[in-house]
Structure 1
Amino acid sequence: MKNYKLNNKNLSNISERISIPQYDRSKLKTGIVHVGIGGFHRAHEAFYTDQLLHDPSVTDWGICGVALLDFDTKIYNILKEQDGLYTLIVKELDGSHTKRVIGSIVECLFAPEDPIKVIEKMASPEVKIITLTITEGGYNYNEATKQFDFGNPLIQHDLKNPQSPKTIFGYLTQALKLRKERGLKGCTIQSCDNIQGNGHMTKKMLLSYVQTAEPDLVQWIESNVTFPNAMVDRITPVTTPSDISNLKETSGIEDAWPVVCEPFKQWVIEDDFIEGRPAWETVGVQFVENVAPYEKMKLSLLNAGHSVLGILGALLGYSTIDEAVNNRNIRAFLNNYMDVEVTSTLGDLEGINLKDYKQTLLERFGNINIKDQIDRICSETSAKFPIFILPTIHSQLKNNGSIQLAAFVTAAWAIYSLGTNENGEALNIKDALKSQLTEKAKEAIHNPIAFLEIDTVFGAIKHNKQFSEAFVNAYKSITNNNIETNLITINNTFKKTY
């Protein structure tokens, strides 16, 4: 079987092997700029948009992908060489792979190489929507102050160098300033990150920056830019060398960075687009008046569940999420956490059967074909914890509910942050706050409460006697015994086995 490099020139040959875009990419206008062209965007928004573009009447919604960081050099170079094309590999529950080439990314820009070009593209009249996957930490939010973090050196750089920004806030500010100065219409800025009220967060953080950087722009943004909230969901593990080689061996396609994902996908969006939007509802997106209940459910169950599995699994020496959830004691603990501490905080969810949803989560976590790396799930936990787990703790404390399980996970994270699992093997901690986490984790050996003193993560929770006592007790119990013994004891306490 002859191999073909994935690019426009070879599409017709590749079409004999797997599905390819059945639309003329050269005739598409760029209506969307997306910042953060990693795996999730390419398995989610770009996938939905690719499906939509198969309607011959849709020509205004091509995507310009922007690689924002120096770290993104590799993905930018690959997508540029492949004409924005990539293979999406859906790993089905039965072990089969569904493969298709996605063509919705019709332009790629590398922000560090040419900041002005990116600003101009965002300010282009044909661009109606700017979407973001910049990770939870990219919003520059300080959990302790509940405000924008102006102490961030990159933010200080952007304030001093507005024409060569390094953060999303610098880019958006300059692009919107150009729109205003040129008498152009506004646009919609839509977050696709796992943050509750992600639209509200985006607006609050951007306006905080603009108030200092370009105060005369604030009112124009208030009147001409919308920030719909959205809930996104599709498990997208890191692409491995074997994924690349398997694609080449089975299909003869040389794709330097395909994307792998699970079959499940969900996107719920508030319909608040000031200059129009794609008809994504025709390809499975759900538009609602208020996305809050759905995103809270997803963040508190799926994302928090991932973190629970990642932290506990890492300490027990597992490397993938399916291994962790298929440990019966971890699985029972997660079930207890979801049933006892999370479910009561969610309220009424129209159209959602929570019992079925939680069961579906366990099936997704347990998909042995996905092999989602625990390293990936545990990365940047300092940014995830305040979003995925802390709201449940606060809600339970307010209602005098159980916080024992969340306290146990927090204590396990403190021990994880020492950098070694229970087998004495080194853990690969990837976190912007790694040095601070390590320092506080070492202090916690002698004074467990020290770990809760990371204010940007925990806020004032250390002052809550009920939680701090539960945390200290869990910490001492883990260090005196081990994770598995504690899990058995906790599960027996709640008298639930799965």
Structure 2
Amino acid sequence: MRVPLHTALAKKNESGADAMPDISENRIVPRLSADLLTRLPDTVARPTFAPRSLTTGILHLGCGAFHRAHQALLTQHAMNAAADPRWGIAAVAMTRPTVVDALRAQDNLYTTLLHDDGDARVEVVGSITETVHAPTDRIGVPARMADPNIKIVTLTVTASGYCISPVTGRLDAACDAVHHDIRCPATPVSPIGMLVRGLEAVRKRGGTPPVVISCDNLCENGRKLRGAVIDLASLRDDGLADWIARNVQFPNSVVDRIVQPGSPADLAVARNCLGGIEDHAPVSAEPFMTWTIENFDGERPRWEDAGAHFVDDVTDYELAKLRLLNASHMLLAYLGALAGYSTIAEATADPALAALARQFMLREQGPTLALPPAELRRTVDGLIRRFRNPAICHDMTRVGRNGSDKMVPRVVAAMCENIAAGRPTPGATLLIAAWIRWFTETQRPNAIMEVIDPRLESLTKSASQPDPYRRAREFLWRADIFGTLPDPDRVQRQVGDALAELAGDRVDTVVRRRLLPEFERGIE
């Protein structure tokens, strides 16, 4: 249900800061719980089932904001529609216990706030039956996975969590976590190691293995996850690897929703929307949502009743998502941060950056996709509107992190197709240059973006090369990041030109030089 944000937001005090509700010193502020669901205002949607009555049928690795605003919410809607209580979720936090602690204190309930046009659609979610902190869990993720009730395992652990080489698409055995799991298979720390150990336990008991669904932004995420799991299993037991290859389904899937972690403002919005009840784990997201999953055999929630799509092949959906939304996000993050903007919404409000993003999608990324021109233009228009949503504070560090893992599937693959077809690539070239520049920019005081990257140390060293053309070469020769580039001398020269311009000119000046007349006219 929709609640106007001007009434949902906490009142401001005279200094402009969020003011807390008037609470007497002796009053105990109630915390969200199953017992308080009936006391929620009518404007708040909630589960139609009793959360404590659910059976856990899904194990999820990666209990972050995205999972809670996407799969967990859709699973609640599916259970509401089908009155099927078998699909409660055991949600696993892989590193920090913060979210686990917050959710356990409120019966694993939390609020989703979907922001749109000054309103918030508010819903309390009760599909999570248990929250688990993997490093301290006494049962262990593999043992939980081997529970016969677990029919599905889903993952949102980010691309780097798969320990996959971005060039080969197979397991990177040199990854520290994988190296640990090879030496200590009984106590895995990587998601891949946990899956292998859990599937090994299923095999030993003679059970039917769960379906494993990747929900991360990886091209062919299910196929790559399957390859990584089999690769690790084969390092221990060829029989286990063969059993996994023959018996375990890893369908590809594509997810899309812009989500932000809970903020102090979200805590205030949730408290007011819930009628004064505290929620320490709300999540905010845009209303737009898609989940496209390849068909698979076996029991599952009726996710299609909640808006998911089941198809025979997700390839076209996947490429469109990675090359339009995700690549444009990277463009806006790296250039926007250089221009002094801290969120994607701020960057997209800049006419020059918005025009470049539109040109990048229509003239570079779009021609590499199987989308009719009219559908491509509608998709791009919709993405620009989504990016401009001021209620979604998608910060530059979060969007731009792990850039070296994202270059090939989101940017370089399309750039190579364009070069082969004789099409110019000004947006991709400038994106790469802006990313390179950030390895030195973040060392300055008050930098907008922090660089988080699995290759940070070596790339920071390369970024210290003072000559922009040699610096471009230092980065672009890295096959583990860029693969094999066609016409590498030309690409290096163009990236070097962009690096030199970014060092001497304003970002909007550099951007405008690359705009075609029809896109430049649109910003006047």
**TM-score, with length taken from structure 2:** 0.89
Cα distance, 1:147 vs. partner? Answer: 3.1
Between the aligned partners of 1:438 and 1:497, the Cα distance in structure 2 is 38
Q: Quick one: which of 28, 38, 42 aligns to 2:64?
A: 38
- 1:312-461 to structure 2, matched below 5 A, reads 312-348=335-371, 353-420=375-442, 425=447, 427-443=449-465, 445=467, 447-448=470-471, 449-461=473-485
Taking structure 1 as reference, are residues 10 and 495 closer, same or farther at Cα in structure 2, changes over 3 Å only?
closer
The answer as to whether partners of 2:31 and 2:278 remain within 8 angstroms in 1 is: yes
Moved more, 138-147 or 458-467: 458-467
CA RMSD of aligned residues (A): 2.2
Between the aligned partners of 2:392 and 2:519, the Cα distance in structure 1 is 31
1:258 aligns with 2:282: yes
Cα distance, 1:151 vs. partner? Answer: 0.8
Instruction: Spell out, residue by residue over 1:311-368, the C-alpha distance to the aligned partner (whole angstroms, 9 max, x if none).
Output: 1110000011111011111011111111111111002469x81111110000000011
The answer as to whether partners of 1:491 and 1:497 remain within 8 angstroms in 2 is: no
Between the aligned partners of 1:144 and 1:285, the Cα distance in structure 2 is 30
Identify the residue that residue 99 of structure 1 maps to in structure 2: 122
1:464 aligns with 2:488: yes
Q: Quick one: which of 23, 32, 44 aligns to 1:6?
A: 32
Between the aligned partners of 2:139 and 2:32, the Cα distance in structure 1 is 29
The answer as to whether partners of 1:421 and 1:427 remain within 8 angstroms in 2 is: no
Taking structure 1 as reference, are residues 117 and 452 closer, same or farther at Cα in structure 2, changes over 3 Å only?
same
Helix, strand or coil at the partner of 2:149: coil
Identify the residue that residue 14 of structure 2 maps to in structure 1: none
Between the aligned partners of 2:426 and 2:515, the Cα distance in structure 1 is 11
1:456 aligned partner, one-letter code:
D
Taking structure 1 as reference, are residues 495 and 88 closer, same or farther at Cα in structure 2, changes over 3 Å only?
closer
Between the aligned partners of 1:259 and 1:214, the Cα distance in structure 2 is 42
Taking structure 1 as reference, are residues 21 and 196 closer, same or farther at Cα in structure 2, changes over 3 Å only?
same
Q: Quick one: which of 493, 498, 514 aligns to 1:474?
A: 498
The answer as to whether partners of 1:300 and 1:389 remain within 8 angstroms in 2 is: yes
2:85 aligned partner, one-letter code:
T
Between the aligned partners of 2:466 and 2:265, the Cα distance in structure 1 is 40
Instruction: Spell out, residue by residue over 1:394-413, the C-alpha distance to the aligned partner (whole angstroms, 9 max, x if none).
Output: 22123222222201110111
Instruction: Spell out, residue by residue over 1:215-240, the C-alpha distance to the aligned partner (whole angstroms, 9 max, x if none).
Output: 22112112211111111000002321
1:467 aligned partner, one-letter code:
V
Moved more, 274-283 or 440-449: 440-449
- Unmatched segments (≥5 aa) in structure 2: 1-20, 24-28
- 1:132-147 to structure 2, matched below 5 A, reads 132-147=155-170
Helix, strand or coil at the partner of 1:109: strand
Helix, strand or coil at the partner of 1:336: helix
1:384 aligned partner, one-letter code:
K
Cα distance, 1:436 vs. partner? Answer: 2.4
Cα distance, 1:9 vs. partner? Answer: 2.5
2:213 aligned partner, one-letter code:
Q
- 1:31-430 to structure 2, matched below 5 A, reads 31-55=57-81, 57-69=83-95, 72-92=96-116, 94-114=117-137, 116-251=139-274, 252-272=276-296, 274-348=297-371, 353-420=375-442, 425=447, 427-430=449-452
Identity of matched residues, %: 31
Cα distance, 1:148 vs. partner? Answer: 1.6
Between the aligned partners of 1:131 and 1:471, the Cα distance in structure 2 is 39
Cα distance, 1:65 vs. partner? Answer: 0.5
Between the aligned partners of 1:111 and 1:423, the Cα distance in structure 2 is 36
The answer as to whether partners of 1:311 and 1:409 remain within 8 angstroms in 2 is: yes
Cα distance, 1:426 vs. partner? Answer: 5.9
How many residues get paired? 493
Helix, strand or coil at the partner of 2:135: coil
- Unmatched segments (≥5 aa) in structure 1: none
Helix, strand or coil at the partner of 2:377: helix
Helix, strand or coil at the partner of 2:242: helix
